Structure 1
Amino acid sequence: MKRLVRVAARLGVTAVLSVSTVFVANAADEATLRLNWLLGGLHAPFYLGVERGYYADEDIDLTINEGKGSGVAMQVIAAKGDTFGMSDAGTLMLGVSKGQNVKAIMSLLNTSGFGIISLADANIKTAKDLEGKTLAVSPGDALTQLFPAIVAANDLDQDKIKLVFMDPGAKPVAVMEKTVDALLGGIDDQIFLIQAQGFDAEALRFADLGANTVGITVHTNGDTIEENPDLVARFVRASQKAWDAAVEDPEAAVAAAMKVKPDLNADSLLKQLKVDLDLLQSANTQGKPIGYAAEADWELTKELLTKYRDLDTDRPADSFYTNEFVE
C-alpha cells in the first residue's frame, strides 16, 4: 500500500511539472498598440487580427489603446508607455530628428491620405481650378504646411488662392455652407462627414498633385528592436496577416471593430477602411508585402518635410524605418 502511495505521489509531481511546463511554454507576451486617433476604419484590421487569433497564434496578448494624435503616439512610444504605436511618417521623422528613439517597423499607408475636398458644384477637377477659389485650412497642421508644395508642383499662382484659417471641425461646415469652396483634409474622413449630410463631395489627392508623403506607419522604441526583435517580428507577421484578411473581407474587419465600440457607424467605418486600403501601396511598393517601405517614398517625404515643415536632420531617409521584419 505504501508503495502505491509513493508511486501515486511521484505521478502527481510529474503531472504538476508537466502542466507547469505547458503553461510556461504557452504564456503569451503582453503587448500594447497605441492608435494614432480614436477607433476608425483605419484601425479595424488590427481588431480583426485580435478577434481571429492572429496575435494569439504568435504568442502575443495584444491590447489596443485609442490615441490622441500622431504626436502623442510618438511621445508614448519614446517613453515606452506602449509597445507599438501608429503615427504618420512626417510626425515620426520630426520626432526622431528631435531625439525620440523611435523607428517605423511597418510603412503601412505608402500613399498620402491628404486631399483637397470640395462640393461637386465647386467644379474643382484639377489643381489649376484652385486659382480663384477659397480654401478652408487649419493653422500649423501638416496639410497647410505642405500646400505650398502643391502650388509649386502645379505652377499655380498662390496669390489667386485665398486661404481662410479655422479650427478643423469648422472646415466641413464651411464647405457645406459654401462660405469656402474647398478644404484641406483627409480623404478617409472629412469627405464622408460631408457626404453623410447629403452633399455630393469630391476630392483631389495630394499624391496625385505631386506632393505624396508616406502616410501612417507602425513604430516601436529602438530599444525594443534591439532587445526583443523576436516580439517585433511576431507582431509584424500577425499584423500583416490581419491586413491581408481585411483586404479580402473589409466588412469582417469593420464588424470586429464594431464589437469593441458598438456606437460607431459601421457604414462610415467601411468607407474609411476602403479608402485606406487603396492607400496601402505606392507606385514604388507594388508587389511588396504590406508594411514595406520604399526608399524613394521616404526620400521624397524627407525632401518635402525639409522644405515645407522645417525638418532639420542629417539622417538618411532609410534611418527612420526598417524593412527587417516585413521582408
Structure 2
Amino acid sequence: MKRRHLVAAAAATLAAPAIFAPSRAGARTRLKLILNWRYQGPQGMFFLAEDRGYFREAGLEVAIDQGEGSAAAVTKVATGAYDIGFGDINAAIALAATRPAEAPVGVMMLYNRPPFCIAVRADGPIRTPKDLEGRTLGGPANDGALRLFPAFARLAGIDAAKVTVVNMQPQLREQMLNRGQVDGVFGFINTIRFSARLIGTDADTAYRFIAYGDYGMDLYSNCIVVSRALARDMPEAVRGFLGALTRGLADMLREPDAAVAAVARREPLLNVAVERARLDATVRDEMNHPEIGTIGLGDVVEQRFVRGIEILAEAQGLPRKPGFAEVFRRDFLPPLSARPTRVVG
C-alpha cells in the first residue's frame, strides 16, 4: 500500500464511529483506551504492556489517551468514544442505576482501597466533616471525590446544602487551596499529595485530609471498565487485554523505575522523582487491601462490593440498586495464579 493510502486509512480509522474492529486473519484488533488522568507514574503498567509487546502478543493494537478524571473515563466509554477506560467504578454504578444499557461494566479492580478525600489547610479551622458547612469547596468537575460528595455528606452528617461547591481546572486545585481561594478541595489523597509536591508544597504538613473511608465509605475505586458492546461481541479481546495488562502490572510492581520511565517517554517534562514516589504511594495506599491475599489483585469481594452499591443508592437517591453482575464481571480475569496476591513488602 502506498504511503498516501496508509495515511488515508489511518485518518479513516480515527474518524470512524465504531472504535473496535474485528481483525482479519493475522491482523490486530484495534481498541481505544482512556486513562483516569493525565500521565502519571502509576499508569506505567499500561505503557509497559505496550512497550514490551504484551498487547501485540494478545493480538491487540491499543491506543492510549490521557484522561480528564476517573468519572469522565466511565462516561466516555458509555458514550462509545472509547472501548476501555480506567475509571471510578462508583460512577459506573450510578450510571447503571439510570442508564443500564449504556453503563460500562467493570472487569478488573485495581484500586481496592478508597482514595477519596477533601483536603483542607492544616492551619485552618476545618477539623471534622461538620466544619465544612458554610465553606466553599472546589474540584475538577469530573473528580471522583466531588461526584461522591453527596453520599459522603449524608454518611458524615453534613448538610450539603450549606456547602458551596465550585469547579476548577485540575492544575489549579492545590494553588487555589494554598491561596485561600477555596476552603477545601476534592480529590484522591495521593493525587493531591503529589500535585502539591510539584508546586513546592509538603501536603502532609500543609494540609489536613478528611478521608471518605474514615466515615463509612469503604468503596472500591478505579477499575478497568469496558463497553457492553465490547464485552458482548469481542470477549476474547477483553481477556487478551486484561492478560496483557496483568503482565504490565507485574512488571510495574517488580520494576517501578522502568514503569515511570515508560510514562516519561510519553511526557518528557514529567518529574520522574515525584512520579516514582506517587507510584509507590498509590500501590501502598490504594492497591493494597488485605483481601488480595485471597482473591488476587483485580477481583473483588462480592459482599463488600454490594455494600458499596447500597451506600451509593441510599446516599445519592438512585432510582434502583444495580445488581452485582450488572456492574462487575470477573469471568474475563486471568486466573488467580497469574495475578498478584501481594503488592508491597
TM-score interval w.r.t. the shorter chain? 0.7 to 0.9
Candidates 301, 323, 327, aligned match of 2:330:
323
Which has more radius of gyration?
1
1:215 Cα deviation after fit: 1.1
Candidates 198, 208, 213, aligned match of 2:219:
213
Distance 1:318 1:78 in 2: 17
Distance 2:222 2:316 in 1: 17
1:50 Cα deviation after fit: 0.9
| SS, match of residue 111 in structure 1 | coil
1:253 Cα deviation after fit: 0.9
1:164-205, CA deviations, whole angstroms, 9 ceiling, x for partnerless residues? 533334542343234665433221222223233333323343
Q: Does 1:298 align with 2:286?
A: no
8 A contact 1:120–1:200 mirrored in 2: no
Counting only pairs closer than 5 Å after superposition, residues 123-162 of structure 1 correspond to structure 2 as: 127=128, 130=131, 134=135, 136-138=137-139, 142-144=144-146, 146-147=148-149, 150=152, 153=155, 158=158
Q: Which moved more, 1:104-113 or 1:166-175?
A: 166-175
- Pick closer, same or farther for the CA change 1:117–1:51 going to 2, 3 Å: same
- Pick closer, same or farther for the CA change 1:142–1:81 going to 2, 3 Å: closer
8 A contact 1:33–1:65 mirrored in 2: yes
1:94 Cα deviation after fit: 2.3
Unaligned segments of structure 2, at least 5 residues: 1-23, 336-345
Q: Which moved more, 1:32-41 or 1:70-79?
A: 70-79
Q: Tell me which stretches of 4 or more aligned residues in structure 1 moved more than 6 Å.
A: none
Paired residue for 2:196?
Answer: 194
8 A contact 1:105–1:218 mirrored in 2: yes
Q: Does 1:266 align with 2:272?
A: yes
Distance 1:268 1:261 in 2: 14
Distance 1:81 1:128 in 2: 37
Paired residue for 1:51?
Answer: 51
Letter in structure 1 aligned against 2:60: I
1:254 Cα deviation after fit: 0.9
Letter in structure 2 aligned against 1:245: D
Letter in structure 1 aligned against 2:227: N
Distance 1:69 1:145 in 2: 11
| SS, match of residue 218 in structure 1 | strand
Distance 2:72 2:186 in 1: 22
Q: Which moved more, 1:233-242 or 1:161-170?
A: 161-170
Q: Does 1:222 align with 2:228?
A: yes
Distance 1:110 1:230 in 2: 25
1:11-41, CA deviations, whole angstroms, 9 ceiling, x for partnerless residues? xxxxxxxxxxxxx875433322122333223
- Pick closer, same or farther for the CA change 1:132–1:90 going to 2, 3 Å: closer
Counting only pairs closer than 5 Å after superposition, residues 28-177 of structure 1 correspond to structure 2 as: 28-97=28-97, 98=99, 99-122=101-124, 127=128, 130=131, 134=135, 136-138=137-139, 142-144=144-146, 146-147=148-149, 150=152, 153=155, 158=158, 163-169=163-169, 171-177=173-179
Letter in structure 2 aligned against 1:198: G
Q: Which moved more, 1:312-321 or 1:128-137?
A: 128-137
Candidates 185, 188, 198, aligned match of 2:187:
185
Letter in structure 2 aligned against 1:229: P
Paired residue for 1:241?
Answer: 247
| SS, match of residue 270 in structure 2 | coil
Task: State the Cα RMSD in Å.
Answer: 3.3
1:62 Cα deviation after fit: 2.0
| SS, match of residue 193 in structure 2 | helix
8 A contact 1:142–1:309 mirrored in 2: no
| SS, match of residue 166 in structure 1 | strand
8 A contact 1:135–1:184 mirrored in 2: no
Question: What TM-score, normalized to structure 1?
Answer: 0.77
Letter in structure 2 aligned against 1:187: I
| SS, match of residue 300 in structure 1 | helix
1:60 Cα deviation after fit: 2.0
Letter in structure 2 aligned against 1:292: D
Letter in structure 2 aligned against 1:268: V
8 A contact 1:298–1:318 mirrored in 2: no
Letter in structure 1 aligned against 2:167: D
1:233 Cα deviation after fit: 1.0
8 A contact 2:155–2:315 mirrored in 1: no
Distance 1:35 1:63 in 2: 11
Distance 1:64 1:70 in 2: 15
8 A contact 1:127–1:209 mirrored in 2: no
| SS, match of residue 82 in structure 2 | coil
1:209 Cα deviation after fit: 3.3
1:139 Cα deviation after fit: 9.3
Number of aligned residues: 301
8 A contact 1:118–1:181 mirrored in 2: yes
Q: Which moved more, 1:180-189 or 1:247-256?
A: 180-189
Q: Does 1:309 align with 2:312?
A: no
- Pick closer, same or farther for the CA change 1:69–1:117 going to 2, 3 Å: closer
Distance 1:104 1:68 in 2: 19
Percent identical among aligned pairs is 22
Distance 1:68 1:182 in 2: 20
- Pick closer, same or farther for the CA change 1:129–1:250 going to 2, 3 Å: farther
